[in-house]
Amino acid sequence: MISRIRKFLFLRLLPAALLLLPAMFIAGGCAGGVPSSEELRNVNVSVDYSRPGNWIILPDAHTPPREVDVFYVYPTIVAHEDHPYMDWSSPSVREKAVNIAAQQTGVFSDIGTIYAPYYRQGEYFRVIREAAAKPEDQVYTRLGIEDIRKAFRYYLEHYNKGRPFILFGHSQGAMVLLELMKSEFRDPKIRGRLVAAYLIGYPKMPKTFPDHPHIRLARGACDTGVVICYNSESPDAVKSIFTGPDTYCINPLNWRTDDSKADASMNRGAVFFDGKNHIVSEEKNFCSAVINPETGALIVVPAKPGKYDSELMGKGVYHMNDIYFFYRNLADNARERVGAFWK
């Protein structure tokens, strides 16, 4: 009974922001070549990323050419106590993944060519339990980490053609990409092509990486080859698994890492979506933001009241809206970092 209630709450509380942008960003990865349920549930079988059905987004003949790529990993979208890993052979699961990927990657759709693989991510409740304990040492993200590592290697060999790229992930997607960076980005040839890694909503992002000195954290608006992370909360938020002592945070309004407040006038546009491919609202000057130096939380105060948290995450935890509150600021910042990279 508890499992069914949790599943119901998760599906009901996914905000409208977890839905669609126009379908022009979706390639043929959702039709044809989709693996079977048996293949995906066999953890000893590797995902074949030469099959278009194992990619949510791939460019096609109609995709405009870009000088930069975006390699994107979606957040947690499955919540079912009976199934520990995502199975995208299910049409309903694929549809949900497509919706979220299209919506989130719209931030960078005018900046880079999007590549987004499916991966056998860990189920929501299992990952949350482990993230609350130690986000960098999980069991249920390991399979997804290996899938993304294989997808990234395939992308580099067959699609990238030497272009610079942005890494982009939210929540579990950010967690998986950070593990990718720990291993693959030891190679200076790969590291040298990284514009920036937007790993938003990573739980308790460390301030230093003594075992991985090649991972650098952003300190301003235009440094490159760096990791960008923040977690949004209200001033009166409950204690969260995403923030705490020694958590790194950068403010996406003023791109500072100290407690300098950024007024709502610096917010270039929050963007919210419905489930029918429409932006339901875009609000400039939506919120102010300031970093709490004790917890590493990005304290957000919307200019007008509204329901921006969820019962799943807890009062005042704006995890579901980390990207949407700062949609236009993120896009403008990516343009700035790409410009700095070319210089």
- Burial call 110-140: b when 16+ CB within 10 Å, e when fewer: ebbbbbbbbbbbbbbbbbbebbeeebeebeb
Q: Span 52-60, mean pLDDT? A: 95
Q: Ramachandran region of residue 277, left (φ > 0), alpha (ψ -120 to 50) or beta?
A: left
pLDDT value of residue 29: 40
pLDDT value of residue 183: 95
Higher pLDDT, 319 or 274: 319
| Contact assessment for residue 96 and residue 20, using Cβ atoms and an 8 Å cutoff | no
Structure tokens at 239: 């204690």
338 burial class (0-12, 13-18, 19+ CB within 10 angstroms)?
buried
CB atoms under 10 Å from CB of 161, counted, come to 8
Kindly report which listed range (39-43, 94-98, 259-263, 315-319) carries the lowest average pLDDT score: 39-43
Mean pLDDT (the chain) is: 87
| Phi, psi dihedral angles at 122 (to 5 degrees) | -75, 150
Q: What is the pTM of this model?
A: 0.90
pLDDT value of residue 168: 98
Q: Span 330-337, mean pLDDT? A: 98
Residue 104 CB partners (closer than 8 Å, separation 6+): 72, 74, 75, 168, 170, 323
Distance of alpha carbon 183 from alpha carbon 177, whole angstroms: 10
268 burial class (0-12, 13-18, 19+ CB within 10 angstroms)?
middle
Enumerate the β-bridge partners of residue 18.
none
pLDDT digits (tens, 9 = 90+) for 277-317: 578 999 999 999 999 999 999 999 999 889 999 888 899 99
pLDDT digits (tens, 9 = 90+) for 128-184: 777 776 666 677 788 889 999 999 999 999 999 999 999 999 999 999 999 999 999
Distance of alpha carbon 199 from alpha carbon 73, whole angstroms: 10
- Burial call 279-308: b when 16+ CB within 10 Å, e when fewer: eeeebeebbbbbbbeebbbbbbebeeeeeb
| Contact assessment for residue 314 and residue 176, using Cβ atoms and an 8 Å cutoff | no
**H/E segment holding residue 194:** strand 194-200
